[in-house]
Structure 1
Amino acid sequence: MFHPTRALMAAVLAISGLAAASAHADINVGVTLSLTGPAASLGIPAKSAIDLLPKDVAGQKLNFIVLDDASDPSASVRNFRRLVDEHKVDVVMGSSVTPSTIPLVDVAAETRVPLMSLAASARIVEPQDDKRRWAFKAIQNESLMVGATLDHMRQAGAKTLAFMGFSDAYGDAWLSALQPLADKAGIRLVATERFVRTDTSVVAQTLKIMAAKPDAILVAASGTPGALPQKTLAERGYKGKVYQTYGIANRDFLRVAGKDAEGAIFAVGPVLVADQLEPDSPMRPVAQDFIKRYEAAYGQNSASIFSSNVWDAGLVLRSAIPAALGKARPGSEAFRAALRDALESTSGVVTTQGVTTMSRSDHVGYDKRAAALVQIQSGAWKYLK
């Protein structure tokens, strides 16, 4: 005999079961990294950090799908589309360098899939508009780091400055940040030279810079290619102060630059000198925990800024997921939109490099605590307190 009440209860239970299954659907995280090519020294440690990220949050399983873009912007775009179309990802992390990441901003907006940049340029998230609303990063903007660098130059008595940077979006971003801030600091930019990541010589650029006799030089490069101007300046006998950017904060740079890196100064995330930070620094325990985990897996001194960038992106992402889960199920357009909104509402999340509070107009959220001045001394990083 048919029992309406029993049938209704069965239907309710079936719907409840489906809802529970939907609520616990996996969250797919796409990743595009420069695992080969000129930026491989950045992408490989990032991949190692991906492997260490927790694989669940708020009861949801996280699946990480990693693709190699070979340091090629066109490949990074293809990877993003493949991650969305084939793997139905809810968010994408990447890429390793600015030139391969900036094109992803348009694709993120088009597909309405949040992008968590692992490259540094402020151009990825500024100025905030309809496209950049889908882009976020837990990496300091160039202006914050340039400001700290210029402060040190000014205190050291520098009056003139030269710039040597990549002839791509990375170099463009640092030069754009440098010019107005140098004027405000009373330091005159007397020479500007550029080079390609794959160049094997920068002698011509170095000679032009030295002819201008600057008190200091800022090299805007990342990874091992940043060692080329550092070594050439030393070989040509430049006696002024050489400043770098956080793009060279890895052991491969120290290995390639060798003794010619001695004395170089740069602003970087506090994680690089975690054990040297003040005891009351909020970043110190977070950075030390990350380094302990990473070095337990990959060996002493293996951690780098490029691996911590991934860890920090993971911290911010995990802080946002619970709010998004409260609004929609993973794998849906509604969930991706809710995740975007939750990322924008990030508040007081402590990473290895700072404390981030984001907003509608700020998709980074760091303050001056995220800029630590470091000098290379005897082949090691020395925190300049």
Structure 2
Amino acid sequence: MTKFKLSVAAFAVAIALPALSGAALAETNEITVGISVTTTGPAAALGIPERNALEFVVKEISGHPIKIIVLDDGGDPTAATTNARRFVTESKADVIMGSSVTPPSVAISNVANEAQIPHIALAPLPITPERAKWSVVMPQPIPIMGKVLYEHMKKNNVKTVGYIGYSDSYGDLWFNDLKKQGEAMGLKIVGEERFARPDTSVAGQALKLVAANPDAILVGASGTAAALPQTTLRERGYNGLIYQTHGAASMDFIRIAGKSAEGVLMASGPVMDPEGQDDTALTKKSGMALVKVYEEKYGPSSRSQFAGHSYDAFKVLERVVPVALKKAKPGTQEFRDALREAFLTEKDIAASQGVYNFTETDRYGLDDRSRILLTVKNGKYVIVK
């Protein structure tokens, strides 16, 4: 296995294989993967595990070394656009990945589709006809994760729901799903509040929701910022059920929310509890492998929903790259075209977060095997059976 070295700059982290001569490069035909993630700013709790997981991904496929270039976008769509264009023009990337949150992921998708380069998103994003051809998405789609939350609400006699979420596309995705699926299941929305990712207080929004007194509140946020509504609602006296999305599924959420995290209901991918899966589950092998090496390096209970996304992206590449190599060489448009086609022809791609079956109309490619429901008891995540 080829080793790789790590160098850090002020704004970029580049992971690259040791320098090769021009002749060696011609022989090995590196496959270049450009990755823009959020390792600084409010969403760093998502991007840092995604970057960390790259230490444990495959370093070559079918004898072709993988050259990984990682840049930080700080969660900013403008920076993500710049990074993506650098991957296109400077790195001549065969594949682009990122970002860690929805707005910059949308920006990267736009560039990738314009440049006709396969794009693997590490955050949920709305798939429009303009973005459908070249982008696929690793995280679970909102409707799959939303359904497990709304079903739990119904089983627990929840009739009214309040919503507080980001004032951006991630918040929109969740509120729209709550309206579409939740209302169809008989849930009544009695309040909607929004906040910006950098906000340090949601006291006003929380007071309005407490006054509305819904049976449950859904928080449409991600990363450590998802803990802000959680703690504020409890501090302001809300005693109903609080539901969080898979964007909050990290140990940092418990660390920051503290006692307020107790009893939260949270959708998550299966990588957060591979030990609890049946031996027949196709997600168990990859999940156990990632959790083992990740927690050996970063400590007990450091496992992360987000580390699973970047790790799984390379599980997908392990399946599609050999197929594409039969048609073309890395560094060519023909290879990128072949990769795009292989995303659609390869089936049952097992990874830590789900089993992927991409189609022209389903760019997430996941089903109910990609979700579990968690709660927090005594400062630890446990599965809700």
TM over 0.5: yes
AA at the equivalent of 2:265: I
Q: Give runs of aligned pairs for residues 1-385 of structure 1, distance below 5 A.
A: 24-121=28-125, 123=126, 126-127=127-128, 129-385=129-385
Residue ranges of structure 1 left out of the alignment (5+ in a row): 1-19
**Cα distance, 1:278 vs structure 2:** 3.0
**Cα distance, 1:141 vs structure 2:** 0.4
> Are 2:132 and 2:360, in contact at CA under 8 Å, matched by a contact in 1?
no
**Cα distance, 1:296 vs structure 2:** 2.2
Give the stretch that moved more between structures: 206-215 or 148-157: 206-215
Alignment root-mean-square deviation, CA: 1.7
Q: Residue 243 of structure 1 aligns to a residue in which SS?
A: strand
> Are 1:316 and 1:346, in contact at CA under 8 Å, matched by a contact in 2?
no
Q: Residue 133 of structure 2 aligns to a residue in which SS?
A: helix
| Residues 19-68 of structure 1, C-alpha deviations (whole Å, 9 max, x = no match) | x9867410000011111111111111111111221110111100000111
Q: TM-score, normalised by structure 2?
A: 0.91
| Residues 319-368 of structure 1, C-alpha deviations (whole Å, 9 max, x = no match) | 10011101100001111111111112231011111111111111111111
CA distance in structure 2 between the partners assigned to 1:356 and 1:292 by the alignment: 22
**Cα distance, 1:298 vs structure 2:** 2.2
Higher Cα Rg, which structure: 1
Give the stretch that moved more between structures: 150-159 or 297-306: 297-306
**Cα distance, 1:223 vs structure 2:** 0.8
> Are 2:132 and 2:361, in contact at CA under 8 Å, matched by a contact in 1?
no
Give the stretch that moved more between structures: 21-30 or 372-381: 21-30
> Are 1:221 and 1:245, in contact at CA under 8 Å, matched by a contact in 2?
yes
| Residues 123-161 of structure 1, C-alpha deviations (whole Å, 9 max, x = no match) | 0xx24x253210011211001111110000000000010
| Residues 270-309 of structure 1, C-alpha deviations (whole Å, 9 max, x = no match) | 1111112234322122211111121222222222011111
> Are 1:35 and 1:70, in contact at CA under 8 Å, matched by a contact in 2?
yes
Give the stretch that moved more between structures: 275-284 or 172-181: 275-284
> Structure 1 pair 251/323, CA: closer, same or farther in 2 (3 Å)?
same
Q: Residue 359 of structure 2 aligns to a residue in which SS?
A: coil
Q: Residue 182 of structure 1 aligns to a residue in which SS?
A: helix
Q: Residue 32 of structure 1 aligns to a residue in which SS?
A: strand
AA at the equivalent of 1:377: K
AA at the equivalent of 2:155: Q
CA distance in structure 2 between the partners assigned to 1:358 and 1:221 by the alignment: 26
CA distance in structure 2 between the partners assigned to 1:212 and 1:223 by the alignment: 26
AA at the equivalent of 1:316: V
CA distance in structure 1 between the partners assigned to 2:331 and 2:209 by the alignment: 53
> Structure 1 pair 161/23, CA: closer, same or farther in 2 (3 Å)?
farther
AA at the equivalent of 1:37: G
AA at the equivalent of 2:383: Y
Q: Residue 284 of structure 2 aligns to a residue in which SS?
A: helix
> Are 1:344 and 1:363, in contact at CA under 8 Å, matched by a contact in 2?
no
Give the stretch that moved more between structures: 277-286 or 209-218: 277-286
Q: Residue 132 of structure 1 aligns to a residue in which SS?
A: coil
CA distance in structure 2 between the partners assigned to 1:357 and 1:269 by the alignment: 16
Q: Residue 329 of structure 2 aligns to a residue in which SS?
A: coil
Aligned twin of 1:17: none
CA distance in structure 1 between the partners assigned to 2:281 and 2:223 by the alignment: 28
> Are 1:374 and 1:384, in contact at CA under 8 Å, matched by a contact in 2?
yes
AA at the equivalent of 2:60: D
CA distance in structure 1 between the partners assigned to 2:231 and 2:333 by the alignment: 50
**Cα distance, 1:219 vs structure 2:** 0.3
Q: Residue 208 of structure 1 aligns to a residue in which SS?
A: helix
CA distance in structure 1 between the partners assigned to 2:25 and 2:156 by the alignment: 62
> Are 2:136 and 2:358, in contact at CA under 8 Å, matched by a contact in 1?
no
**Cα distance, 1:231 vs structure 2:** 0.3
CA distance in structure 2 between the partners assigned to 1:377 and 1:177 by the alignment: 28
**Cα distance, 1:317 vs structure 2:** 1.5
AA at the equivalent of 1:327: K
Q: Residue 71 of structure 1 aligns to a residue in which SS?
A: coil
CA distance in structure 2 between the partners assigned to 1:130 and 1:100 by the alignment: 16
CA distance in structure 1 between the partners assigned to 2:278 and 2:30 by the alignment: 40
> Are 1:267 and 1:373, in contact at CA under 8 Å, matched by a contact in 2?
yes
Structure 1 residue runs of 4 or more that deviate by more than 4 Å after TM superposition: 20-23
CA distance in structure 2 between the partners assigned to 1:329 and 1:277 by the alignment: 39
